[in-house]
């Protein structure tokens, strides 16, 4: 991903985005990264791309991915993660526990935050930690 994909927002504008707003953006950023990675790495056939992507973007999968990252997050990133995790949600998908859903919301908020800050390199670092096994 190139830096020009990132939004240019001030620190105040970023702080004013709700945790759910950041998670909404982060969900799209992370899913695009997963889909791109699956296609470019040949990890799935055209027929199996959707199923393979769901294996990475579901709430339980994102909660597992978050556990891989926690020790590597900066204090600022941990604060964003906590803010996302503590957000009240109105519904939880059937395939996820409440804890998994809160963790996945935090994970998405982190990716959204980094995206709106323009920290594409950091997003790529974190993504590599998730997919390189």
Q: Which of 3, 12, 27, 75 is catalytic?
A: 27
- CA dist., res. 72 & res. 9, Å (int): 25
- CA dist., res. 86 & res. 23, Å (int): 12
What are the boundaries of each domain within the chain? 7-131
CB-based burial label for 74 (10 Å; 0-12, 13-18, 19+):
exposed
Q: Is 3 a catalytic residue?
A: no
Report if pTM > 0.85: yes
Give the three-state DSSP class for 60: helix
Res 1 pLDDT > 50: no
- CA dist., res. 40 & res. 21, Å (int): 29
Q: How many CB atoms lie within 10 A of CB 57?
A: 18
- CA dist., res. 89 & res. 83, Å (int): 13
Res 53 pLDDT > 70: yes
User: What is the signed CA dihedral for 97, 99, 112, 3, rounded to 10 degrees?
Assistant: -90
pLDDT, tens only, 9-28: 788 888 899 999 999 999 99
CATH annotation of 7-131: 1.10.1520.10
């Amino acid at each position: 991903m190139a830096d020009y994909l990132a939004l240019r927002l001030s620190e105040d504008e970023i702080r004013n985005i709700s945790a759910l707003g950041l998670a909404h953006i982060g969900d799209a950023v992370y899913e695009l990264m997963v889909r791109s990675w699956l296609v470019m790495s040949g990890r799935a056939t055209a027929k199996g791309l959707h199923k393979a992507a769901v294996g990475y973007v579901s709430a339980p999968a994102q909660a597992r991915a978050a556990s891989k990252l926690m020790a590597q997050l900066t204090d600022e990133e941990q604060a964003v993660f906590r803010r996302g995790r503590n957000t009240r949600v109105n519904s939880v998908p059937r395939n996820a526990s409440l804890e998994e859903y809160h963790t996945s919301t935090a994970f998405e908020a982190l990716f959204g935050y980094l995206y709106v800050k323009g920290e594409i390199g950091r997003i790529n670092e974190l993504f590599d930690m998730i997919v390189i096994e």
